[in-house]
Structure 1
Amino acid sequence: MPSTTPRRFVGIDLAWASRNRTGLAAVDDSGRLVASAAVRSDDEIDAWLAEHAPAPTVVGVDAPLVVPNATGSRPAERLIGSAFGRFGASAYPSNRSIPWFDPPRAELLAARHGWSVDPDRDTGRGVPVCLEVYPHAAMIGLFSLPRRILYKKGPDRRAGFLQLVTHFETLRELRLQESPRWTEIVRLVETPARGDLTRIEDEVDAILCAHVAWLWHHRREALQVYGTLAEGYVVAPPPPGP
């Protein structure tokens, strides 16, 4: 009998440690944003998923997922650097000598929920697929940006966030104008109080991660895999050319 559970695609901007904020977002099968939030602990992540996406089709997680190397960086990070470094979006190196990557929190999250981390797995086979994604590379590729937007740091984060809001609203599938939470995020960006931008940045990243997860199922040709399952990988669009 076919499942009656609505299809969901999840984005997780996963903090490397539970003391920091994790952004969460879910979109439906049409790509529309249905929920987003920021939490901290594993229990809060699990509770949010149970409420909004108990059986996701694809999960896009912004955090190291497959980290087999003891030292140095993964080939995936070098490939991302080669593709997106000129846009200011190289990837942070990850290896098992760094305590919070041994094991990576994303690996534990996927195992806890029974998600496959194999990007070659068919997303229509009933087992959720969890992919490592990278919002900065996704923004550059999807929006054809000449340079990474400085919304996480820099002299004028609000200007960066205003740019980001404008670009996000071009992703018509998200239907952000219909989302009460997005309306609140835009209000915070336009007139931020102290700390507001920091409090929403992970949630905003998670929304993009959810869109990338949706693309992986519906428009896979828009994305590519940088690296391999054996050595670690990142899913992102190709960079703008030439």
Structure 2
Amino acid sequence: MKPDLSTCSISVVGFDSAWTDSPKAPGAICVIRIDGLRARLYLEPRLASFGDALEIIRGERSDTDKCLVALDQPTIVPNTSGSRPVDKVAGALISWIGGGVQPANRSKLGMFDDTAPIWRFKRDLGAIEDPDLARTASTGLFLIEVFPALALATIDRAFCRRLGAPKYNPTRRKRFREEDWQAVGSTIHQFGTLRALDQLEQWCTAHSALRSPKKADQDKVDAIICGLVGLHWLAAPRELSVMIGDLDSGYMIAPAINGVHERLTAAAILRGVPIS
């Protein structure tokens, strides 16, 4: 049973961690607050290291009844090589639309080895990693893994077609398309509108108007996508989201506004990966 959103305050933190915690290439973070059935963009996306993120999340945890961190980075990586089962399932759709899924394994130094920043972050965060409990609990600090590229494909049908992935990474200048940059901004705004999120339109309009966006600007976009996926997971009916994988081998949470794509379903069945 979901909590009564009118009686509790909730914070959703969207965090694109950038994986390696490099001072020269930090991630980005944003905060969405839900209070009295209204959602608002409380903290606009800004650059943040793992340490910065911890400080912001701790503040949110102390100020609200429940805090959900939606993180764009694999949070459960038991495999020593190759890819997690969930990465292969997501990759079945992402590769079809013209994108890629970076394999997560413990041999990736600085990302998932025993001393990688993600494990220190999780330890210091002390959050409960149980997506279904995050939906039903009235209080607590929770963590879920999300994937912006998968979210965009499941939110907007225009991106979910053969080679239809938006080319909005400014560092790949030969592939970057200004119209895709603007289309992603429009998609974010429309997705936020579904959850009546205040203060989002102004940010999306200004961000989409950037004529020479940098990688940091894309990180901010991904942070807001993370936050919106977290908000959707908490506020929308369960059948409008999908959990691919499990808490043993790894998982991802994504919207399923248009239903679960047949490629995800087929790939999950083929590999014996849970999908719900």
Q: Which bracket does the TM-score occupy, shorter chain normalised? A: 0.7 to 0.9
Task: Spell out the pairing of 1:91-130 with structure 2 (5 A cutoff).
Answer: 91-99=101-109, 100-103=111-114, 104-123=116-135, 124-130=137-143
Q: In the alignment, which residue of structure 2 is the partner of 1:12?
A: 15
Q: Larger RCO: Structure 1 or Structure 2 (Cα < 8 Å, ≥ 6 residues apart)?
A: 1
Question: What is the CA–CA distance in structure 1 between the aligned matches of 2:57 and 2:13, rounded to whole Å?
Answer: 9
Q: In the alignment, which residue of structure 2 is the partner of 1:27?
A: 32
Q: In the alignment, which residue of structure 1 is the partner of 2:179?
A: 159
Residue 187 of structure 1 aligns to which amino acid in structure 2? A
What SS is found at the alignment partner of 2:80? coil
Q: In the alignment, which residue of structure 1 is the partner of 2:209?
A: 190
Question: What is the CA–CA distance in structure 2 between the aligned matches of 1:205 and 1:190, rounded to whole Å?
Answer: 16
Task: Spell out the pairing of 1:1-242 with structure 2 (5 A cutoff).
Answer: 6-19=9-22, 20-29=25-34, 30-52=38-60, 54=62, 56-99=66-109, 100-103=111-114, 104-123=116-135, 124-144=137-157, 145=159, 146=161, 147-152=164-169, 153-155=172-174, 156-171=176-191, 172=193, 173=195, 175=197, 178-179=199-200, 183=202, 186-193=205-212, 196-219=213-236, 220-238=238-256, 239-240=260-261
RMSD: 2.5
Q: Given that residues 137 and 236 in structure 1 are in contact (C-alpha distance below 8 angstroms), is that contact kept between their aligned partners in structure 2?
A: yes
Q: Given that residues 23 and 202 in structure 1 are in contact (C-alpha distance below 8 angstroms), is that contact kept between their aligned partners in structure 2?
A: yes
What SS is found at the alignment partner of 2:202? helix
User: How far off its partner does 1:204 sit?
Assistant: 1.1
Residue 224 of structure 1 aligns to which amino acid in structure 2? V
What SS is found at the alignment partner of 1:27? strand
Structure 2: gaps spanning 5 or more residues: 1-6, 264-276
Residue 11 of structure 2 aligns to which amino acid in structure 1? R
Q: Given that residues 29 and 224 in structure 2 are in contact (C-alpha distance below 8 angstroms), is that contact kept between their aligned partners in structure 1?
A: yes
Cα offsets for 1:155-200 (capped at 9, x unmatched): 3443221111111121203646x35xx635633542435xx43221
Q: Given that residues 33 and 175 in structure 1 are in contact (C-alpha distance below 8 angstroms), is that contact kept between their aligned partners in structure 2?
A: yes
User: How far off its partner does 1:5 sit?
Assistant: 7.5
Question: What is the CA–CA distance in structure 1 between the aligned matches of 2:205 and 2:178, rounded to whole Å?
Answer: 11
What SS is found at the alignment partner of 1:57? strand
- When residues 82 and 16 of structure 1 are mapped into structure 2, their CA distance, relative to the original with a 3 A threshold, is same
User: How far off its partner does 1:62 sit?
Assistant: 0.4
Q: Given that residues 224 and 236 in structure 1 are in contact (C-alpha distance below 8 angstroms), is that contact kept between their aligned partners in structure 2?
A: yes
Question: What is the CA–CA distance in structure 2 between the aligned matches of 1:168 and 1:188, rounded to whole Å?
Answer: 11
Q: Given that residues 59 and 130 in structure 1 are in contact (C-alpha distance below 8 angstroms), is that contact kept between their aligned partners in structure 2?
A: yes
- When residues 108 and 157 of structure 1 are mapped into structure 2, their CA distance, relative to the original with a 3 A threshold, is farther
- When residues 190 and 53 of structure 1 are mapped into structure 2, their CA distance, relative to the original with a 3 A threshold, is farther
Structure 1: gaps spanning 5 or more residues: none
User: How far off its partner does 1:12 sit?
Assistant: 0.6
- When residues 88 and 107 of structure 1 are mapped into structure 2, their CA distance, relative to the original with a 3 A threshold, is farther
How many residues are paired up?
A: 234
User: How far off its partner does 1:70 sit?
Assistant: 0.7
- When residues 13 and 28 of structure 1 are mapped into structure 2, their CA distance, relative to the original with a 3 A threshold, is same
Cα offsets for 1:192-237 (capped at 9, x unmatched): 35xx432211111111111111121222321111111111111123
What SS is found at the alignment partner of 1:87? coil
What SS is found at the alignment partner of 1:212? helix
